[in-house]
Structure 1
Amino acid sequence: MKKSWKIFSRDGRNLVTNYVALIVIGGLMILPSLYAWFNIEASWDPYGKTDQLPVAVVNEDEGATIRDESIDVGGDLVKELKKNDDMDWHFVNREKAMDKVEYGDYFAVIVIPKDFSQKLSTVIEDKPEKAKLEYYVNEKINAIAPKITEKGAGAIVDKITSSFISTVNETIFDMFNELGLEIEGDLPDIKNFENYVFEAEERLPDIGKTLNDSLSDAEKAQGMIDDAQSMIPEASRVTNEGLETIDNTTAFLDKAEKRLDEIAPQVQKDLEQAQSTSKKINDFLQSVQTSDIDLSQGDTISNDVQKQVDSTIQNIEAIESSLQQVKEQNPPPQEGEDNQNEESQQNQEQIDQALEQLAQVKKQLQQVQTDGDKINDFLSGKQKEVDDVINGIQERSAETSANIDAFVKEYNNNIEPAVRSEVASAKKTLSDARSILVDIQSTIPEVEKILSSTEGNLSDGEKTLKDVLGEYPYVNTKVNELADRIREIQGETDINEIIKLLKNDPKLEKSFFEEPVKMNKNSLYPIQNYGTAMTPFYTVLAIWVGGLLLISLLATDVMEGIPDLKERHIYFGKLMTFLSIGFIQTIIVTLGDIFLLGVDISSPGWFVLFGLLISAVFITIVYTFVSVFGNVGKALAIVLLVLQIAGSGGTYPTALLPEFFQMIHPFLPFSYAIDLMREAVGGIVWERVTKDILFLVLFWAIAIFLGTFLKQPLSKRTKAFMKKSKESGLFH
């Protein structure tokens, strides 16, 4: 170990006494720091300068009209972008934009097509179309710029989408609010509708039966109309005949009334004569009764009585004949005229009563005539009986005279006026009947027309009924389904809750859907900027690069001057020199990160100490490769550097790397070195620090082991290889 220390001490004296060596070593100490600092500074905040990326915007939108309101989404977007400084927006036409993006003056072009607003307006139609932005990017200019511009274009799409959704939702929820108010106002009607549906469901079987009955009735009605149409000619004939009959009856009544006018004076005269004769008979009988009757004069008396009675009977028969003619000419009662029928019946009864009275009077007179004949037979021996017969004749004569007086009075007061009234009433009835029949006659063509039209309508109605019956099963099913669905909804939802939901504030709903989810970022280990985040990677990389610079310029072998040196002594002696310079490199780069660049580091002290540990591991690994393997070791150090840059997860997460790099990641010193420095920058979790330190110490131990035990066996072969390569004149 003393010999190794001597090697280290001599290297220190040579460095101090040789200004050229001092300058070179000084440069080697600073150069790795510059590599780290320039990269950290360059990546300090690249996304904070996107406003310097030129991106063209071409607005060709022609606008649209939605429900009589004009919209111009493209114009509104341009107005918003002019206020936006996320990128260097250039508002130009399509031709200029495409020329410049192809040449590289613009990183990207966003084109708003002419139908942009029109397609957005289709949201209210049955088949809405999605609006599209055209995005052109020149990806050969830079690897990162297209990603940044694409993110900017995506932000535009997100903004349009957010604004559009919020506007549409405001409109929708405004409609919902109005709908909620309307539903609330119509809640009784909704309840009634539910009841109507349930009632319809309950009554549908009866409705189906009614429809079937209606169809059956319609079919029967068709037959009835056919029968009615077939009866119209008969009705027309009967009406014509009825008019003819009424006309004939009226003519007959006119004749009867005329005949009544003609016979009335004669009837009156005959009645008066009968009345006079009856009075004379009565007076005669009274005179006979009060006088002494000479039975020898019986023939004379009998003849006188017979003569008077025959005259009276002739008068009565003439009256009977006249009354009989009046009775026959009195028209029979008409149907439908109840009052007139009753009055006619009374007149008939009065005429019949008068005829009966005349018949009775005639019978009595005939009896008187018979009794008069008896006088002649019994005068000779039956004086008393004669007196009785005379008294009877006188009584009957008096009664007959009274009956004649009563009949004359009845005829003058009742019979003749009733007959005339009945004739007038019959004529009026016939006139009214004729008027009705005339109306019926004029109505028959209209009825025939109506029946014909009704037949057509009935046929259409029958067809409609059949169609309705054909749809009845479907309607019945749908009503039952609707009723079941209403019952299901009633069991699952409360309409009052729906109304409450619909009545939400549209503006608050718009605000919600404009940004439905807000992400509250809680940084457990906050990193100030992108440069700070990249500091661990570039610092670790600078430490390895520093080691490569040392092995490129500094010798790993010892010149003559120290006797009895072994390869082991040389290995450790030179290792101390390399470690010393490496520590200085690490102190410069870590302190420069903190104080020169102002990187926000959570634990600055640990940052420097972790850097020194990493430097010791890396310098030992790189030095061991070169010390043991010569120029081959340098190649190994460079290859390992390349693998570690790609596979250590310093820039991209390991999960995003190809499978090969994910596989070698746990075996790379960079993986644990970068993670250890990140703990110092963001915040220390000691479990992770402990793990990283253990693995780094393991790599350092493996390097020491290789140097200790392989340096001596491989020394001759390595020197021979080096000598041979120098002979080529290409290597030093």
Structure 2
Amino acid sequence: MYIKKVLISYKISPKKVHKIYKRDIKNILRNRATLAMIIGLILIPALYAWINIKAGWDPYLNTKGISVAIVNLDKGSELRNIKVNIGDNVVKSLKTNQSIGWTFVSKADAENGIKYGKYYASLTVPKDFSKDLLSVVTSDTPTKSKLIYTVNEKRNAIAPKLTGKGATALQAEITKTFIETSSGTVFSFLNQIGVEVEDNKPQLKRLADMLISLDDKMPKIKKSMDNVYDESVVLQKYLLNVQKDIPTVNKGIANALTITKTSNGYITKSKDSLKSLSPIIQEDLSIIKDITDTAGSSLTKVQDIIPSNTAVIKDGLVTTRDKYSDGLQTIDNVISLNKSLDNFLDNTGLDTLIDNLLKVRDDMANQQNDVNSMINTVDRGDQVLTSDLNDAVQAANKTSNSTANIMDDFKTTIDPKVDNVMKSTNKLSSNSVNTLQNIQNNMPLISSSLSKSTSQLDQGIKSLNTARNNFPKAAQYLHSNTEKLKGLTNDKKLNEVIKMLKKDGAKESDFLASPIALTQNRIYAIPNYGSAMSPFYTTLALWVGALLMHSLLSVEVKNFKDGIPVSTREKYLGRYFTFLTIAIMQALVTIVGNLLLLKTYAVSPIILTLFGVYVSIVFLTIIYSFVCVLGNIGKALIVVVMVLQISASGGTFPVELLGDFFQFIHPMLPFTYAIGGMREAVAGIIPELLINHVLTLGKYLVVSFFLGFILQERMNKVTSKFIEEFDKSGLAE
């Protein structure tokens, strides 16, 4: 009833609205070309979403294709007569690790492969690696071991981030292996002695001495662990600083790409415009030459009739003077056009052309003055001198020859230079656009890699810190036992040592290497990256689909052939329902395709589909109202809004990582609530959050619809004169 009252108050006939909608649908179904275009409009948003979601389904599944050369030069070492080769242990561990494509090669193969791009990076375990690591318990002055990481940053921008992540993880693995190996070796050594203790009691004294010596070296071991921890913290700070700079870099790349694309379009249009100007300039030069030739012919005719007919002589001189006037005007036009081109282009010879035209203009102006003098002579009743006429004819011929030379120089020299400059500029701009586009496409993967590297490093630091915190207890335990050994008799020492040797060496070393087991809880878990990004790409696809619809289809509604009058608001509603039908189909095809073709994850596929249709209706209404009220200006504004929404909606980066401006506009954007609502349906629904997204989008729907409904007719009256003037330019679509 309320809607009916509104329609009546605005004098709107529902029958006419339905008639417009019915006519649109019939026209679509009857015309194959139109039907094909509508089908394309329905499929394009879906293809846009499907391709992007599938491309980023899980970028880390294929990291095993990133080739990293592993060179093991470790010669091993000994700890209390037990052979230890940590390099071999690392290689064994990596052979079962599929996170990156570890390739085990020689040093020469690795160096050559890195240089020529066969491998993205290499990790070399030096020959003294085990020796240096164990020096903490074998030497009074321990030597810090080195792991050599070499990376080829030229081959790809993202691969170094992934290989760096692998190097960091490998560093943590080696630290764990070191603790496990060194402690395990000690316990293994003790167990060997324990088996033979009854048959080799003299060795007990040696064991006691070794434990006392180990107790004395515990401070050095603690210092070594502290050094490893401090360096890990420094690396963590470095990664965090790099991660903070990613949004700024991404923003700069996006701005540079926008500017470069705009410049590229401008250069292309300018190139086409210059191609069309070249024939015009040549034609004007030809006209100038024809004028000088005609002037010379007229003067020659006057020369032939002197002094027989004064009236005929004057007519010939007047004709010559008028021709010179036309010539001067044409030269001014050509000079003005070439000055404009010369300001736009450099090193094309246009300045020489302008100088030569100015000389011709000066000559022609002087000749016109001479002709005026001869006309005045005739008007006074005097006879024109034959010598003056001869000079005038020669001057006209000279000007004609100069103009011919200018024409030849423009055609053979200047015009090719202009064309070459524009081709070079256009090629350079296109290459810049492609380069910036590739960098921008790779930025999300770089950011994700840094985030994962930072997370893994955080876990490693926490584990190492826990080991450091537990180390004093282990040291105190060893110290207390060795102190007991110092003060006991041989029999009592034997009993104490046997008690210590009964401990399980594997369990003790495993505890020291990994004292904490991390238990991870995932709420609202999403099985893959593609499903997690589907709300953003689906939202963007629906906006792009609505925008394309308004680019290919017109909001203008033609009157009926039967002459029935239709108001602006009736046209607004009739065409709105046509566009709305297409928008709903776009949403259904896109979201159902996500679920059935790509198998994207969703907690509630039905709510996701319904909400997606609702979002498509909201977007269609916003764009439709903008275009109806503001025309092409509205389309431009919609593109600007889309760019802002891509950056500030939080669809890729968390909004907290964005600048102050983007955080400020974040709650004002439709994308914010469209993506938020779809995330609820994908990962897990909190009813109050979903309702809030629905209601907020409803505000955009209602406000934009009624603004378009009310303002279209008024704005069309205001902008009609502007549109009419713009149409006269010949640039309007």
TM-score range, shorter chain: 0.5 to 0.7
Q: Which residue of 1 aligns with 2:118?
A: 105
Identify which of 139, 164, 168 aligns with 2:178.
164
* 1:689-718: CA deviation from partner (whole Å, max 9, x where unpaired): 011112111222232243133323321344
For residues 28 and 552 of structure 1, the distance between their equivalents in structure 2, rounded to whole angstroms, comes to 10
Q: Does 1:148 align with 2:147?
A: no
Q: Which residue of 1 aligns with 2:691?
A: 690
Q: Which residue of 1 aligns with 2:607?
A: 606
The DSSP-based 3-state class of the residue aligned with 1:109 is strand
Q: Which residue of 2 aligns with 1:27?
A: 40
Q: Does 1:134 align with 2:148?
A: yes
* 1:410-452: CA deviation from partner (whole Å, max 9, x where unpaired): xxxxxxxxxxxxxxxxxxxxxxxxxxxxxxxxxxxxxxxxxxx
Q: Which residue of 1 aligns with 2:707?
A: 706
Amino acid at match of 1:595: L
Q: 1:716 to 1:517 in 2, by over 3 A?
A: farther
Amino acid at match of 1:131: S
Structure 1 position 102, deviation (Å): 4.7
Contact 1:567-1:715 at 8 Å conserved across structures: no
For residues 718 and 685 of structure 2, the distance between their equivalents in structure 1, rounded to whole angstroms, comes to 46
Q: Which residue of 2 aligns with 1:46?
A: 59
Amino acid at match of 1:54: S
Q: 1:9 to 1:166 in 2, by over 3 A?
A: same
Q: 1:686 to 1:139 in 2, by over 3 A?
A: farther
Structure 1 position 24, deviation (Å): 0.4
For residues 592 and 61 of structure 1, the distance between their equivalents in structure 2, rounded to whole angstroms, comes to 54
Q: 1:605 to 1:56 in 2, by over 3 A?
A: same
Amino acid at match of 1:642: V
For residues 35 and 135 of structure 2, the distance between their equivalents in structure 1, rounded to whole angstroms, comes to 78
For residues 125 and 27 of structure 2, the distance between their equivalents in structure 1, rounded to whole angstroms, comes to 72
Structure 1 position 586, deviation (Å): 0.4
Contact 2:647-2:662 at 8 Å conserved across structures: yes
For residues 68 and 644 of structure 1, the distance between their equivalents in structure 2, rounded to whole angstroms, comes to 67
Q: 1:43 to 1:507 in 2, by over 3 A?
A: same
Structure 1 position 83, deviation (Å): 3.2
Q: 1:712 to 1:505 in 2, by over 3 A?
A: same
For residues 534 and 59 of structure 2, the distance between their equivalents in structure 1, rounded to whole angstroms, comes to 14
For residues 102 and 640 of structure 1, the distance between their equivalents in structure 2, rounded to whole angstroms, comes to 46
Structure 1 position 104, deviation (Å): 3.8
- What TM-score do the two structures reach when normalised by structure 2? 0.53
Amino acid at match of 2:525: P
After the TM superposition, which residues 660-699 of structure 1 pair with which residues of structure 2 at under 5 Å, given as runs?
A: 660-699=661-700
Q: 1:624 to 1:105 in 2, by over 3 A?
A: farther
After the TM superposition, which residues 171-250 of structure 1 pair with which residues of structure 2 at under 5 Å, given as runs?
A: 171=185
Q: 1:91 to 1:715 in 2, by over 3 A?
A: same
Q: Which residue of 2 aligns with 1:619?
A: 620
The DSSP-based 3-state class of the residue aligned with 1:597 is coil
Structure 1 position 674, deviation (Å): 1.0
Amino acid at match of 2:121: A
The DSSP-based 3-state class of the residue aligned with 2:62 is helix
Structure 1 segments unaligned to the other structure (5+ residues)? 187-485, 490-497
Q: Which residue of 2 aligns with 1:228?
A: none
Structure 1 position 676, deviation (Å): 0.8
Amino acid at match of 1:631: N
Identify which of 90, 112, 122 aligns with 1:77.
90
The DSSP-based 3-state class of the residue aligned with 1:594 is helix
Q: 1:97 to 1:16 in 2, by over 3 A?
A: same
* 1:311-343: CA deviation from partner (whole Å, max 9, x where unpaired): xxxxxxxxxxxxxxxxxxxxxxxxxxxxxxxxx
Amino acid at match of 1:682: A
* 1:351-402: CA deviation from partner (whole Å, max 9, x where unpaired): xxxxxxxxxxxxxxxxxxxxxxxxxxxxxxxxxxxxxxxxxxxxxxxxxxxx
Rg larger in structure: 1
Q: 1:117 to 1:171 in 2, by over 3 A?
A: closer
Structure 2 segments unaligned to the other structure (5+ residues)? 1-11, 206-479, 484-495
The DSSP-based 3-state class of the residue aligned with 1:56 is strand
Structure 1 position 176, deviation (Å): 9.8
Contact 1:648-1:671 at 8 Å conserved across structures: yes
For residues 99 and 587 of structure 2, the distance between their equivalents in structure 1, rounded to whole angstroms, comes to 38
Q: Which residue of 2 aligns with 1:658?
A: 659
Amino acid at match of 1:161: T
Amino acid at match of 1:554: L
Contact 2:86-2:178 at 8 Å conserved across structures: no
For residues 584 and 154 of structure 2, the distance between their equivalents in structure 1, rounded to whole angstroms, comes to 42
Query: Which shows bigger deviation, 597-606 or 66-75?
Result: 66-75
Structure 1 position 174, deviation (Å): 7.1
Q: Does 1:544 align with 2:543?
A: yes
Q: Does 1:637 align with 2:638?
A: yes
For residues 501 and 69 of structure 2, the distance between their equivalents in structure 1, rounded to whole angstroms, comes to 44
Structure 1 position 673, deviation (Å): 0.9
Structure 1 position 627, deviation (Å): 1.8
The DSSP-based 3-state class of the residue aligned with 2:60 is helix
Q: 1:569 to 1:545 in 2, by over 3 A?
A: same
Structure 1 position 649, deviation (Å): 1.6
Contact 1:546-1:585 at 8 Å conserved across structures: yes
Q: Which residue of 2 aligns with 1:59?
A: 72
For residues 539 and 725 of structure 1, the distance between their equivalents in structure 2, rounded to whole angstroms, comes to 36
* 1:148-189: CA deviation from partner (whole Å, max 9, x where unpaired): 22222222222212221222333566799999x99xx99xxx
Q: Which residue of 2 aligns with 1:522?
A: 521
Structure 1 position 25, deviation (Å): 0.3
For residues 137 and 705 of structure 1, the distance between their equivalents in structure 2, rounded to whole angstroms, comes to 59
Structure 1 position 72, deviation (Å): 2.6
Structure 1 position 566, deviation (Å): 3.6
For residues 624 and 576 of structure 2, the distance between their equivalents in structure 1, rounded to whole angstroms, comes to 7
Structure 1 position 616, deviation (Å): 0.8
Q: 1:69 to 1:13 in 2, by over 3 A?
A: same
Q: Which residue of 2 aligns with 1:507?
A: 506
Query: Which shows bigger deviation, 517-526 or 30-39?
Result: 517-526
Q: 1:63 to 1:618 in 2, by over 3 A?
A: same
Structure 1 position 617, deviation (Å): 0.9
For residues 128 and 720 of structure 2, the distance between their equivalents in structure 1, rounded to whole angstroms, comes to 77
After the TM superposition, which residues 355-370 of structure 1 pair with which residues of structure 2 at under 5 Å, given as runs?
A: none
Contact 1:57-1:92 at 8 Å conserved across structures: yes
Contact 2:79-2:185 at 8 Å conserved across structures: no
Q: 1:165 to 1:710 in 2, by over 3 A?
A: farther
Q: Which residue of 1 aligns with 2:588?
A: 587
Contact 2:595-2:605 at 8 Å conserved across structures: yes
Amino acid at match of 2:575: K
For residues 716 and 39 of structure 1, the distance between their equivalents in structure 2, rounded to whole angstroms, comes to 42
Q: 1:171 to 1:606 in 2, by over 3 A?
A: same
Identity across matched positions, percent: 44
Contact 2:53-2:533 at 8 Å conserved across structures: yes
Structure 1 position 677, deviation (Å): 0.8
Contact 1:532-1:600 at 8 Å conserved across structures: yes
Q: Which residue of 1 aligns with 2:9?
A: none
The DSSP-based 3-state class of the residue aligned with 1:111 is strand
Structure 1 position 652, deviation (Å): 2.2
Amino acid at match of 2:177: S
For residues 82 and 703 of structure 1, the distance between their equivalents in structure 2, rounded to whole angstroms, comes to 60
Amino acid at match of 1:633: G
For residues 512 and 639 of structure 1, the distance between their equivalents in structure 2, rounded to whole angstroms, comes to 58
The DSSP-based 3-state class of the residue aligned with 1:617 is helix
Q: Does 1:117 align with 2:130?
A: yes
Structure 1 position 75, deviation (Å): 3.0
* 1:618-655: CA deviation from partner (whole Å, max 9, x where unpaired): 11112222222222222222222222222212122222
Contact 2:42-2:545 at 8 Å conserved across structures: yes
Aligned CA RMSD, in angstroms, stands at 3.4
Amino acid at match of 1:711: Q
Structure 1 position 544, deviation (Å): 1.0
Q: 1:63 to 1:583 in 2, by over 3 A?
A: same
The DSSP-based 3-state class of the residue aligned with 1:557 is coil
What is the aligned length? 423
After the TM superposition, which residues 4-23 of structure 1 pair with which residues of structure 2 at under 5 Å, given as runs?
A: 4-23=17-36
Amino acid at match of 1:557: E
Q: 1:647 to 1:608 in 2, by over 3 A?
A: same
The DSSP-based 3-state class of the residue aligned with 1:48 is coil
Q: Which residue of 2 aligns with 1:555?
A: 554
